[in-house]
């Protein structure tokens, strides 16, 4: 058994599962709280699923021209940047909210 196909499959499954779980938990949280942080996490996860599916389709497609491969690579990297920045902003905002909440709680305890 070759390790690369196994790792590609594991990468695909884990990415889809994690992004789907984030969407399933973040969407109701966004609807309830209207916090933008959850919106950023949803955006990052949706883009991540699209990228992962696109990558699998690209790998399984027959030979493409060099220009097509370069275009796909550029689009993939732009999407990866969007997903990463969205996730980063969402996590940053959530951490900031939690820290403010605990700072307020500590002030009441003192």
User: Which residues constitute the domain of residue 37?
Assistant: 3-109
Banded pLDDT at 106 (limits 50, 70, 90) = low
Evaluate if residue 13 carries a pLDDT over 90.
yes
How many domains does one find in the chain?
1
Please state, rounded to an integer, the average pLDDT across all residues of the chain.
Answer: 93
pTM over cut 0.85:
yes
| pLDDT average, residue stretch 72-92 | 97
Evaluate if residue 110 carries a pLDDT over 60.
no
pLDDT tens column, 29-81: 999 999 999 999 999 999 999 999 999 999 888 888 899 989 999 999 999 99
CA dihedral 70, 75, 77, 83 (to 10 degrees): -170
Tally the C-alpha atoms within 13 A of residue 73's C-alpha that lie toward its C-beta.
Answer: 7
């Amino acid at each position: 058994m070759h390790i690369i196909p196994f790792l590609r499959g594991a990468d695909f499954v884990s990415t889809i599962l994690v992004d789907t779980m984030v969407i399933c938990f973040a969407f109701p949280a966004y609807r309830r709280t209207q916090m933008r942080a959850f919106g950023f996490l949803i955006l990052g996860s949706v883009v991540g699923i699209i990228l992962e599916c696109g990558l699998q389709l690209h790998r399984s497609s027959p030979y493409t021209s060099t220009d097509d491969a370069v275009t796909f690579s550029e689009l993939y990297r732009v999407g990866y940047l969007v997903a990463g920045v969205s996730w980063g902003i969402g996590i940053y905002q959530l951490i900031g909210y939690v820290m403010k909440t605990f700072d307020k709680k500590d002030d009441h305890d003192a």
